[in-house]
Chain A
Amino acid sequence: MRTISKWARAFFFTEIIVGLVTTFKHLAVKPITRQYPHQKPDLPDGYRGVIVQLRYDDMTEKCVGCALCEAACPSHCITVVSGEDPDLPQRRIAKQYVLDVTKCVFCGFCVQACPVDALASSKEYEMATWNKRDLIMDKEAMLKLGDRYFPNRSPRPHPYLEQRLALFQKLKVAEFPKSGVAS
């Protein structure tokens, strides 16, 4: 009896018909693929894209040029040249800040290392370019990307008092030594 049913199953292509029904049912299934350039994926909140720099709400940059990010970076893609802002009293900034995206491994250690939260991982991932040098970002490029991805800026925690700024301006004009000129 079993042989007969087995033979009948083979003769009437039962298993092939089962397969055909399965594939036919899938004609009605909604496609699970995404038409990528037209349909962008929703990235999760913890997504680590290109590293960007942030500003305070008075549009001054957060970075103080401490170079802790450079120390934390495992792939040595960050270079910081520290310096002083000539227009503000006792304000240290990064005179130069270079992020080599071609080397970056997107680990986010720099973001964690930053003491003033000046760095953040953006959701930028479409970095394809014809010129590799476009991927070596300076401070301005990073700030521009940061403006795009983080439009809500935090307030500056310790703003300068008016008196101090005024004093600084007075002292700067009157008493700062000028190079090459004997006082």
Chain B
Amino acid sequence: MDLTLKLVLIVVQIAAVMGVVLLHVAYLTYMERKILGHMQDRLGPMEVGPHGLLQPIADGLKLFFKEDIIPTGADKFLFTAAPILVLVPALIGFAVVPFGRDSISLFGMTINPFITDINIGILYILAFSSLGAYGVLLGGWASNSKYSLLGGLRSAAQVISYELPLGMALVGPILLSESLSMVKMTTAQGGGAWHWFVFVQPVAFVIYVICAVAETNRLPFDLPEAESELVAGFFTEYSGMRFAFFFLAEYANMILVSCIATAAFLGGWQAPLPILEFIPPIIWFLAKVYAILFFFIWIRGTLPRLRFDQLMGFCWKIMIPLALANILITSVIAYFVHARG
């Protein structure tokens, strides 16, 4: 009996988190179109609902009812599997993100503001986000189209290269909080904004944000999609719901990397000043996540696409050495501070 209730509770919690994430994904597309529109002196979507507020629903319905095409010569099994392989890792990472501070008691059980707190949280997210690259690569290969193949190859090269500095940038917060768990990492930054790792580890934060933009294949690092040269890159041949899966995965990934940046660098649900703690922690968390998402969209509205050799050169010649130097300096200082204290 107790076990059943527990199981039901876990399933409900997972469903709730997934539902909320998908809702945010849908309205992130709306937010992106609106902000980009206003940055280009346009209005963005205005037709469906007041100020186009129902646009994501209209888009979803449209994609749902579109014809599902599998091109001749495509590998049917991989072509079908690729969108799932992309979407699942993007959604699964939210399991370890701590959204708030307080646990709720319900039916004699405590519901935590996260699905699970595993002691290798960061590693778990990094491992699954690199699985997403398989989906992109296989989707590009299985489409049997030159644009898709080029897009898939570029994506694989880019994601694998940028994963290294991304992981290394996260080593800084790991060293300082002495834990791989996202929950402990957040609690380690308590007590005011000056304890946040973004001020202790500014270089790591900048490296992380740049790599996050590259990992999510967004401008200025959107070479795998590159509308103007590769049509749409790895999902050129996809339509209907399969295309929607890729689309959802891209935006879910954006939210996920923003959540990690918030938890690892911006103090998670912590208020910036102790006086401001009357505002619920979940509001602080959302505000920080949306600030980073706004920055992503802002960057997209500002910068042009890089050339492929620039992209690779920037990663291997600048980001990785900088990240390594940052780890070295941080660990030396952390060692001496730890030895003295």
Q: Give chain A's interface residues, CB within 8 Å of chain B.
A: 16, 19-20, 22-24, 26-27, 29-33, 35
Nearest 4 Cβ contacts at the A-B interface: A23-B302, A19-B302, A31-B43, A23-B39
Contact indicator B35/A27 (Cβ below 8 Å): yes
Other than the known A20-B298, A27-B38, A32-B42, what 16 A-B pairs have Cβ atoms closer than 8 Å? Answer: A19-B302, A19-B303, A20-B299, A23-B39, A23-B302, A24-B39, A26-B41, A27-B35, A29-B41, A30-B41, A31-B37, A31-B38, A31-B41, A33-B42, A33-B43, A35-B46
- Complex formed: what's the CA distance from A24 to B298 in Å? 8
Contact of B41 among A19, A22, A33, A35 (CB under 8 A): A33
23 A/B residue pairs, CB under 8 Å, sorted by A: A16-B303, A19-B303, A20-B298, A20-B299, A23-B298, A23-B301, A23-B302, A24-B39, A24-B298, A26-B40, A27-B35, A27-B38, A27-B39, A29-B41, A30-B41, A31-B37, A31-B38, A31-B42, A31-B43, A32-B42, A33-B41, A33-B42, A35-B43
Contact indicator B39/A16 (Cβ below 8 Å): no
Residues of B within 8 A of A19 (CB): 302-303
Smallest CB separation, A16 vs chain B (Å):
7
Contact indicator B302/A22 (Cβ below 8 Å): yes
Which residues between 6 and 47 of chain B lie within 8 Å of chain A, taking CB atoms? Answer: 35, 37-43, 46
- Complex formed: what's the CA distance from A19 to B40 in Å? 13
Residues of A within 8 A of B37 (CB): 31
- Complex formed: what's the CA distance from A175 to B271 in Å? 106
Q: Determine the residue in chain A with the shortest Cβ distance to B35.
A: A27
Smallest CB separation, A41 vs chain B (Å):
16
- Complex formed: what's the CA distance from A30 to B38 in Å? 8
Which residues between 42 and 90 of chain B lie within 8 Å of chain A, taking CB atoms? Answer: 42-43, 46
- Complex formed: what's the CA distance from A33 to B38 in Å? 10
Residues of A within 8 A of B38 (CB): 26-27, 31
- Complex formed: what's the CA distance from A77 to B298 in Å? 53
- Complex formed: what's the CA distance from A19 to B39 in Å? 12
